[in-house]
Chain A
Amino acid sequence: MTESPWLLVLGANSDMAIATAKRYAQAGFNLYLASRNLEECEKNATDIRLRYQVEVQSFKFDAQDFISHADFYASLVVRPQGVVLAFGFMADQKVAQNDFALVKAMIDINYTGAVSILEIIAADFEQRQSGFIVGISSVAGDRGRMSNYIYGSTKAAFSNYLAGLRHRLIQSSVSVLTIKPGFVATKMTADLDLPAKLTAKPEQVANTIFKAVEEKKSTVYVKPIWRLIMLIIVHLPNLVFHKTKM
C-alpha cells in the first residue's frame, strides 16, 4: 500500500483554506496546516482529523518572516505533493493611502512572502519532477481601480509571478494554478450584503481548486461570470473607465 499524499496549506485558517483542506482530506490527503495563529490552526486540525480520519499537523507560519521559510519547509517530514497558498492581507484602500505600514504589510504578505516560500517549494517540486502549486490570487489584480488598487497591485504581481512559475515548471511536470475567487461568503463577510450571483461559497472555491488541479488548468475564475466581468473592465477604454468610481 502506498502512503497517502500530503497537502500543505499556507494561511490555513481562512474559510477558503479550510474548505480546500477538507476537500483534499475527503480525497484521502494528509494535511500540513500552516498559519500565523497556531491556536486556531490546531482547532481546525482537530476538526478535520475527526471528520476525515486523516493525519493533520499544524505549524506556525508567518508569511512576513521570510528568513524562517526555508527551515519551515525543511521541517516537514514527508514532502508534500501539493501546496495551496491561501494567505493574504487586504487593508481598506482609503486607510492604506494614509498609512504606509499597511501598504507594506500587503506587499510583504501578498507578494514578497508568497514568492519567498513558493521559490523554496518550487525548487523541491522541480527536482522531484512532480507536484502541484495553487495560488489564491484575486480579480482585483486584473486592473488597477481606485477603490482597491494597492491590494490589487500586490495580487497583480502575484498572478504574474504564478504565470512565470507555471512557464518554468511545465517542463518538470509540476502544475501551477492561479485561482481568482471574486466575492466569497466567509465568516468575515457574513455581515456584508454581497450579490448572490457573484458570490462563491468557500466549498465552491474548494471544489473548483480540486477539479482544476486534476485537469491541470492554469487560471480559473471560481464563478465564470467574473471572467466576463473582468474582461470588460480590463478592456474599458480610459475615457470611459476614468468616469467610473469602481
Chain B
Amino acid sequence: MKLSGWGRFPVVDSWALGYNHQTWWSESFIATGNHRSYGDAALAPVHLPILPRNRLIAFNEQSGLLTCEAGILLSEIIEMFLPRGWFLAVTPGTKLISVGGAVASDVHGKNHHIQGCFSEFVESFKLVVPNNQTKTCSRIDNPDLFYATCGGMGLTGIITQVSFYLKPVKSQWIEQTTIKTANLKHTFEAFEQYQDSPYSVAWIDCLASGESLGRSLLMVGDFAQDGDLDYQAKNNLTIPMDFPSFVLNSLSVKVFNSLYYGKAKKGESQQRLGIDAFFYPLDAINDWNRIYGKHGFVQFQFILPKAVSFDGLEVMLKRISQSGMGSFLAVLKLYGAENQNWLSFPMGGYSLALDFKMQSGLVTFIRELTDLVVQLGGRVYLAKDALLTREQFEQSYPKVEQFRALRKDMRLDAHFQSLLSQRLGL
C-alpha cells in the first residue's frame, strides 16, 4: 500500500506486518500510529500498525495515572475521561495521534512553557525490543532506554503500553484572552507578559512586512473553574478531494491572513471556547491536508534559543515574506526549558511552525532556512520534518552519538528503520 505522513510528502510503498510477533524479526521496519507525523518518521518499506492495540489497562481515580496500550488515540481518551473531570496534561495541536506516537515524538503543546513535553507525565512504558523481549522503562528502570525512546521517533523499539498522568479539570470550557499585536517586538512583549498563563500560542501573519512584520494574535487561556463536563465530540467537516494547486497561491493566503487578523478585536478580548476549538481547531476539518493539493506540503517547525530568538525570527520572517511561498498557518510559541531526552525538540526559546505547499525551489529554500536555524543554535522538529540533512541534524541535536551507540549496542539499528533514520544516519 502507499503510505505517507500527514504532509503527503514523501510517499512510499509499504506493507504492513501482521499482529503476530513471530513475523516481525526477519526484516527492518518501523512501528506506526495514526500517521500524523508530517514527514518520513513513520515511513518505511515495512511497517507495524500499532492502532489495533488500543485497550485501557488501569486508571487510578486518585492520582489520574492511566495505563493503556499504545494504539489508543488521544481523542478517545478525551471522550472517555473529560466527562469524568480529567484531561491530557500535555496535548499537541491534534488529538488524532496515538499515545505511542505521543511518546515517540515527545509531543508538546500550548503549555510547554510551564509543563514541558508529554514525557514529563509519563511514568513508565513497555518497549518490545528484538526477539520479543519486553522492557519496562521509566526514569528508574532502564533510564537510558526511557530517555532515548521519548522523542526517539520509534527507533528504539515498539512502544506497546504507556502509563501516564492525566490532569484534573473542572470544566470542558476554556477562558481565552486574545491579544492583537502590531509587530514582532510587541508580540514578544505580550508573550513575556502572559508567561504565567497556563496555555499560550500566537498565530503570526507571516506575510506581513515592513512595520507590521511579526504582527500576531496571541491566544492565552486556561480551563474555566466553573461550567460543565458534559463533553461530546462533534461531527467533522471533510475535505472531499485534493484542492487544485492554484487554490492556495500566495495571494489567497494573503487574503486569508488579512481576514483572520482583521476579524480580531483591537487590543485584548475575551472568549469562552470548548476544548476542541481551543486545542484542536484543525481537527474539525477531516483531511485538511488535502487543501494543499496532491503534491502535498512541508511543515517546517524550528526553535531558536531565547537569547537569539528575536533577531533570528526577524531575519527568518523577512526571508519567508520575501519568498512569497505562502504559508497558510504560522504558529509562534514561547517554550520552557529543555528536558533530558536525547532527541526531544523543545528548548527554552521561541518556535515557529509554518506550512509550505510543495513547489519548485522549496527544498532549497527550506534547507537555507534550516542552515540559519542551526547556525543560531536552534533545531528542527523531527516529527514534522522531511528535509533536514544529516549534517544539519548532527549539528543541532547534541546527543545524537549517544543515541546511535545505544541503537548499535542493543542491535536496534538492524530492526527499526524508517526513511527518517536512513536520511539522518541514525
Q: Do A and B actually bind? A: yes
A interface residues, Cβ below 8 angstroms from B: 15, 43-44, 46-47, 50-51, 187-188, 190-191, 193
Q: Which residues of A contact B57 (CB under 8 A)?
A: 43, 46-47, 50
Decide yes or no whether B1 CB sits under 8 A from chain A.
yes
Query: By the criterion CB–CB under 8 Å, are A190 and B58 in contact?
Result: no
6 contacting pairs across A/B (C-beta < 8 A): A46-B56, A47-B56, A190-B16, A191-B18, A191-B23, A193-B1
Q: Which residues of A contact B58 (CB under 8 A)?
A: 46, 50
Query: By the criterion CB–CB under 8 Å, are A191 and B59 in contact?
Result: no
Query: By the criterion CB–CB under 8 Å, are A190 and B1 in contact?
Result: no
Knowing that A43-B57, A190-B16 touch, tell me 8 more A-B residue pairs with CB under 8 angstroms.
A46-B55, A46-B56, A47-B56, A50-B58, A190-B52, A191-B17, A191-B18, A193-B1
Within the complex, which residue of B15, B16, B59 is in contact with A50, where a contact is CB–CB below 8 Å? B59
A52, closest chain B residue (CB): B80
Query: By the criterion CB–CB under 8 Å, are A51 and B80 in contact?
Result: yes
CA distance in complex: A191, B16 (Å): 5
CA distance in complex: A50, B16 (Å): 30
Listed from nearest, the 5 A-B pairs whose CB atoms lie closest are A47-B55, A191-B18, A187-B52, A50-B56, A187-B19
Query: By the criterion CB–CB under 8 Å, are B56 and A190 in contact?
Result: no
CA distance in complex: A190, B213 (Å): 50
Which positions 58-96 of chain B face chain A at CB distance < 8 Å?
58-59, 80
Decide yes or no whether B49 CB sits under 8 A from chain A.
yes
CA distance in complex: A46, B68 (Å): 11
Interface centre among B52, B57, B59 (most CB of A within 10 A): B52
B17, closest chain A residue (CB): A191
CA distance in complex: A11, B294 (Å): 44
> How many residues on chain B are close to A (CB under 8 Å)?
15
Query: By the criterion CB–CB under 8 Å, are A191 and B55 in contact?
Result: no
Q: Which residues of B contact A15 (CB under 8 A)?
A: 52
Contacts known (A51-B80, A193-B1); A188 close to B55, Cβ less than 8 A: no
| Per-position 1/0 for B212-225, Cβ under 8 A of A | 00000000000000
Q: Which residues of A contact B59 (CB under 8 A)?
A: 50
Query: By the criterion CB–CB under 8 Å, are B55 and A43 in contact?
Result: yes
CA distance in complex: A46, B55 (Å): 8
CA distance in complex: A193, B57 (Å): 31
Query: By the criterion CB–CB under 8 Å, are A191 and B15 in contact?
Result: yes
Which positions 243-260 of chain B face chain A at CB distance < 8 Å?
none
Q: Which residues of B contact A51 (CB under 8 A)?
A: 56, 80
Q: Which residues of A contact B49 (CB under 8 A)?
A: 190
Rounded to whole Å, the gap between the CB of A88 and the closest CB of chain B is 18
Rounded to whole Å, the gap between the CB of A186 and the closest CB of chain B is 8
Rounded to whole Å, the gap between the CB of B56 and the closest CB of chain A is 4
CA distance in complex: A202, B414 (Å): 35
Within the complex, which residue of B18, B55, B80 is in contact with A190, where a contact is CB–CB below 8 Å? B18
A18, closest chain B residue (CB): B55
Q: Which residues of A contact B17 (CB under 8 A)?
A: 191
A188, closest chain B residue (CB): B19
CA distance in complex: A50, B79 (Å): 12
Q: Which residues of A contact B18 (CB under 8 A)?
A: 188, 190-191
Q: Which residues of A contact B15 (CB under 8 A)?
A: 191
A53, closest chain B residue (CB): B84
Q: Which residues of A contact B56 (CB under 8 A)?
A: 46-47, 50-51
A50, closest chain B residue (CB): B56
Q: Which residues of B contact A190 (CB under 8 A)?
A: 16, 18-19, 49, 52
B71, closest chain A residue (CB): A187
Q: Which residues of A contact B19 (CB under 8 A)?
A: 187-188, 190-191
A45, closest chain B residue (CB): B55
CA distance in complex: A50, B84 (Å): 11
Query: By the criterion CB–CB under 8 Å, are B16 and A44 in contact?
Result: no
Interface centre among B15, B56, B57 (most CB of A within 10 A): B56
B19, closest chain A residue (CB): A187
| Per-position 1/0 for B113-129, Cβ under 8 A of A | 00000000000000000
B57, closest chain A residue (CB): A46
CA distance in complex: A92, B1 (Å): 25
CA distance in complex: A14, B371 (Å): 52
| Per-position 1/0 for B268-297, Cβ under 8 A of A | 000000000000000000000000000000
Q: Which residues of B contact A187 (CB under 8 A)?
A: 19, 52
Q: Which residues of A contact B52 (CB under 8 A)?
A: 15, 187, 190
Rounded to whole Å, the gap between the CB of A137 and the closest CB of chain B is 24
Which positions 1-38 of chain B face chain A at CB distance < 8 Å?
1, 15-19, 23
